[in-house]
């Protein structure tokens, strides 16, 4: 029986939107086109952390009013980057509170003089809460560190004879029970142990709370009547691909819209007019995951042309969106892509690296994708927050399937299930769906990781959250990742796929790999018997210090990591013939965490080091993933063209 995204959730949509949750405006990725220019503001910014006792000196002295250097000393700070690890200052590394970034941008003359041009400032990610001023004028505020936000600054930059503008961004990394992820501030009041006013940030998640301007900041232009958003959803009728589109226009009422769909050779395969419609593509090339088909990741281009009549005459806006035609569905025991069973063999990642922390970095990104393809991985989960938009684009391009996760990690306190928290979580899902809805690589939303889903309020919380997400996007299944007991999990009835994390013979039964098979098989049987839904082993792994060797294996050695994985694989190989639809290793690479006696300079469960060098387990997993690819590809003919040289992929 096909469960698919249920219509009942879709019916709830208008109701929830009527409650005032709908976001204003689209968030199309800023691409250049004949009508759009962009100017990146990456590089060195001026920076100051507000070390004052109440952390509010910057507001009291209005640091945004004049150039930052005039209100005190500044540091050079690279953007994009976390601020934590680039310096030599221990206090700045663990700073909690407001930091201030500033830079001047020189604007092309046309941008400041042509009133038919709209100038937009876009911030890819500012962790966690951000306030933005341009030339001392407040233009935007945003909560949440993993999704983009924008401000239309046309009026400001076009109001006088300006050649440049000064952008000031104040960012606060404090986490509270109502932020995502949540956290608490712990005040230490025992003056015999701590200085006056001493506090620390507590968190319930296992990665370092890096902060700063993590992703590109840029300015871009559009005409004043412009394409604000595009929503595309695809389906297939026999050999014909169906592309349903909806285009949202802002800034004018008199306009025409034309759309053309081009194939990879640039040939027009379908066209239409108007703000919504369906394009039909005979003999469509479907978007297939990496290793599943001889030509994976086929992308069409949807060219949208807007012609608007304004007081100044006729203006045009152009936007081109990559489109992959594919379907996703879930049965009681399968995950289907284009109607064929799909088995996730992949990884969990983090945005994390030496020095830059969570700062976006092209060389790192390309290295990671090369490693994923070397490994034969066909999927990853964006544990535990949305990744940069550029990551999603590469997934579309390479056919790497994504479980797109919200920053709902570390939801453990009862306060974090309050209405305030729920409201914010709903908004974050709206922002995430708005940004990532058109990526064919995204096949499922994950609303959270390991919440205390056995607590009483979790039932209502997840029912509402999952219903809302399905209403926002009826085309994709929804899950959250659990580690709770199958009988006690109050959220599981609402998910489409059960994603379960477990650490047998790691966080308990230390060293006893002989119990893994029994415990894992019992886990799968219990969950499946109770819910009859497909299951993904969404995390498993062992901390391993690269270069530590011990045989017979001991914990933390490379041999132990390999031995533990092998025990899991024996059970996965049985259960994948029944209802297990995927396995994602924890973790792709070692990553930084808070300091604690359990962590040796971070979490070491990577199959690659933090510098992206393989541990022994990477080779083991590579052999397994290519073997799995060999067994699960479609159609059962030449997939050879994708084989990397010397790959263990055999035909």
Describe the strand order of the beta sheet including 38-40 as a list of residue ranges. Answer: 38-40, 217-223, 117-123, 149-152
Closest separation in Å from C-beta 587 to ligand BDP: 7
Closest separation in Å from C-beta 184 to ligand BDP: 18
Q: Which two tokens stand for residue 229?
A: 């958003």
Residue 241: strand pairing partners: 236, 281
In whole angstroms, give the CA distance from residue 75 to residue 395.
36
User: How many CA atoms within 13 Å lie on the side-chain side of 68?
Assistant: 25
Q: Contacts with ligand BDP in 259-288 (CB under 6 A)?
A: none
Nearer to ligand BDP, 142 or 146 (CB): 146
Q: Contacts with ligand BDP in 295-324 (CB under 6 A)?
A: none
Determine if the peptide bond prior to 60 is cis (ω within 30°). Answer: no
Determine if the peptide bond prior to 181 is cis (ω within 30°). Answer: yes
Nearer to ligand BDP, 127 or 350 (CB): 350
603 binds ligand BDP (CB under 6 A): yes
Q: Contacts with ligand BDP in 577-596 (CB under 6 A)?
A: 586
483 binds ligand BDP (CB under 6 A): yes
Nearer to ligand BDP, 166 or 605 (CB): 605
Sign of torsion, CA 203 206 208 210?
A: negative
Contact 320, 33 (CB under 8 A): yes
Q: Which residue is nearest to ligand BDP (CB)?
A: 206
Instruction: Check if 450 is active-site.
Output: yes
Nearer to ligand BDP, 210 or 649 (CB): 210
* C-alpha closest to that of 213 among 134, 102, 105: 102
Nearer to ligand BDP, 481 or 639 (CB): 481
Closest separation in Å from C-beta 324 to ligand BDP: 29
In whole angstroms, give the CA distance from residue 610 to residue 599.
14
Closest separation in Å from C-beta 483 to ligand BDP: 6
* C-alpha closest to that of 92 among 69, 112, 75, 72: 75
SS3 13: helix
Q: Helices marked H in 500-544 — which ranges?
A: 516-531
- Residue from 327, 449, 557, 567 touching ligand BDP (CB under 6 A): that is 449
Closest separation in Å from C-beta 384 to ligand BDP: 6
Query: Which string of b and e fits 413-440 if b means at least 16 CB within 10 Å?
Result: beebbeeebbebbbbbbbbbbbbbbbbb
Q: Contacts with ligand BDP in 524-553 (CB under 6 A)?
A: 539
- Residue from 35, 501, 505, 561 touching ligand BDP (CB under 6 A): that is 501
In whole angstroms, give the CA distance from residue 54 to residue 98.
10
Number of chain positions touching ligand BDP (CB under 6 A):
10
Closest separation in Å from C-beta 519 to ligand BDP: 16
> What binding mask, one character per residue, do residues 178-217 give for ligand BDP by CB under 6 A, x or -?
----------------------------x-----------
**Close Cβ partners of 118 (under 8 Å, ≥ 6 residues apart):** 152, 154, 221, 222, 223, 224, 226, 251
- Choosing from 430, 450, 539, 558, the catalytic residue is 450
Closest separation in Å from C-beta 501 to ligand BDP: 5
Q: Which two tokens stand for residue 292?
A: 């599943």
SS3 147: coil
Closest separation in Å from C-beta 198 to ligand BDP: 28
430 binds ligand BDP (CB under 6 A): no
Nearer to ligand BDP, 384 or 610 (CB): 384
Radius of gyration of the chain (CA): 25
Contact 221, 278 (CB under 8 A): no
Closest separation in Å from C-beta 605 to ligand BDP: 5
Nearer to ligand BDP, 289 or 410 (CB): 410
154 binds ligand BDP (CB under 6 A): no
- Residue from 450, 489, 496, 558 touching ligand BDP (CB under 6 A): that is 450
Nearer to ligand BDP, 251 or 541 (CB): 541
- Residue from 373, 425, 605, 633 touching ligand BDP (CB under 6 A): that is 605
349 binds ligand BDP (CB under 6 A): no
**Close Cβ partners of 296 (under 8 Å, ≥ 6 residues apart):** 287, 288, 289, 290, 398, 399, 642
610 binds ligand BDP (CB under 6 A): no
**Site for ligand BDP, rule CB under 6 A:** 206, 384, 449-450, 483, 501, 539, 586, 603, 605
- Residues annotated catalytic, as ranges: 450
């Amino acid at each position: 029986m096909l469960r698919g995204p249920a219509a009942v959730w879709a019916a709830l949509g208008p109701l929830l939107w009527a409650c005032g949750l709908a976001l204003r405006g689209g968030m199309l990725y800023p691409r250049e086109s004949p009508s759009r220019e962009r100017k990146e503001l990456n590089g060195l910014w001026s920076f100051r952390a507000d070390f004052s006792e109440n952390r509010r000196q910057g507001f009291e002295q209005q640091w945004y009013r004049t150039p930052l250097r005039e209100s005190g000393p500044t540091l050079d700070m690279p953007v994009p980057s976390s601020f934590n690890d680039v310096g030599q200052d221990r206090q700045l590394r663990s700073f909690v509170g407001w930091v201030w970034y500033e830079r001047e941008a020189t604007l092309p003359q046309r941008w400041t003089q042509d009133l038919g041009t709209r100038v937009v400032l876009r911030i890819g990610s500012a962790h966690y809460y951000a306030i933005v001023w341009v030339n001392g004028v407040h233009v935007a505020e945003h909560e949440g560190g993993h999704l983009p936000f924008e401000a239309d600054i046309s009026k400001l930059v076009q109001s006088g004879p300006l050649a440049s503008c000064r952008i000031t961004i104040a960012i606060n990394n404090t986490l509270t029970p109502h932020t995502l992820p949540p956290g608490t501030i712990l005040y230490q009041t025992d003056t015999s142990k701590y200085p006056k006013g001493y506090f620390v940030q507590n968190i319930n998640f296992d990665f370092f709370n890096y902060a700063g301007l993590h992703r590109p900041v840029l300015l871009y232009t559009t005409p004043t009547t412009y394409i604000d958003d595009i929503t595309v959803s695809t389906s297939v009728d026999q050999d014909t691909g169906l592309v349903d589109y909806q285009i949202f226009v802002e800034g004018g009422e008199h306009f025409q819209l034309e759309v053309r769909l081009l194939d990879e050779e640039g040939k027009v395969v379908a066209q239409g007019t108007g703000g919504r419609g369906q394009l039909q593509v005979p003999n469509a090339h479907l978007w297939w995951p990496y290793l599943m088909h001889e030509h994976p990741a086929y992308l069409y281009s949807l060219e949208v042309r807007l012609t608007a009549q304004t007081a100044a005459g006729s203006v045009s806006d152009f936007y081109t969106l990559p489109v992959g035609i594919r379907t996703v569905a879930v049965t009681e025991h399968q995950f289907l892509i284009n109607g064929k069973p799909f088995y996730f063999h992949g990884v969990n990642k983090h945005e994390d690296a030496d020095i830059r922390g969570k700062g976006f970095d092209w060389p790192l990104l390309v290295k990671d994708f090369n490693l994923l393809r070397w490994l034969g991985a066909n999927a990853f989960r964006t544990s535990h927050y949305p990744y940069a938009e550029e990551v999603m684009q590469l997934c579309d391009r390479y056919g790497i399937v994504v479980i797109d996760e919200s920053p709902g990690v570390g939801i453990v306190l009862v306060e974090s299930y309050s209405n305030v928290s729920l409201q914010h979580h709903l908004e974050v899902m709206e922002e995430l769906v708005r940004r990532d809805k058109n990526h064919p690589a995204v096949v499922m939303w994950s609303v959270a990781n390991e919440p205390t889903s056995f607590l009483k309020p979790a039932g209502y919380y997840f029912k509402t959250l999952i219903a809302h997400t399905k209403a926002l996007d009826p085309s994709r299944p929804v899950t959250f990742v659990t580690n709770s007991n199958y009988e006690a999990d109050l959220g599981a009835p609402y998910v489409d796929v059960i994603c379960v994390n477990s650490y047998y013979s790691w966080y308990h039964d230390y060293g006893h790999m002989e119990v893994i098979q029994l415990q894992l098989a019992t886990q799968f049987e219990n969950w499946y018997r109770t819910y009859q839904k497909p299951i993904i082993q969404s995390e498993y792994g062992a901390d391993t210090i690269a270069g530590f060797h011990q045989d017979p294996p001991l914990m933390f050695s490379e041999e132990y990591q390999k031995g533990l994985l092998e025990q899991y694989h024996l059970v996965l190989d049985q259960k994948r013939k029944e209802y297990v639809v995927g396995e994602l290793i924890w973790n792709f690479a070692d990553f930084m965490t808070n300091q604690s006696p359990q962590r040796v300079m971070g979490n070491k469960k990577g199959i690659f080091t933090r510098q992206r060098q393989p541990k022994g387990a990477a080779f083991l997993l590579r052999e397994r993933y290519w073997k799995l690819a060999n067994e699960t590809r479609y159609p059962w003919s030449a997939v050879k063209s994708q084989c990397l040289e010397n790959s263990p992929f055999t035909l």
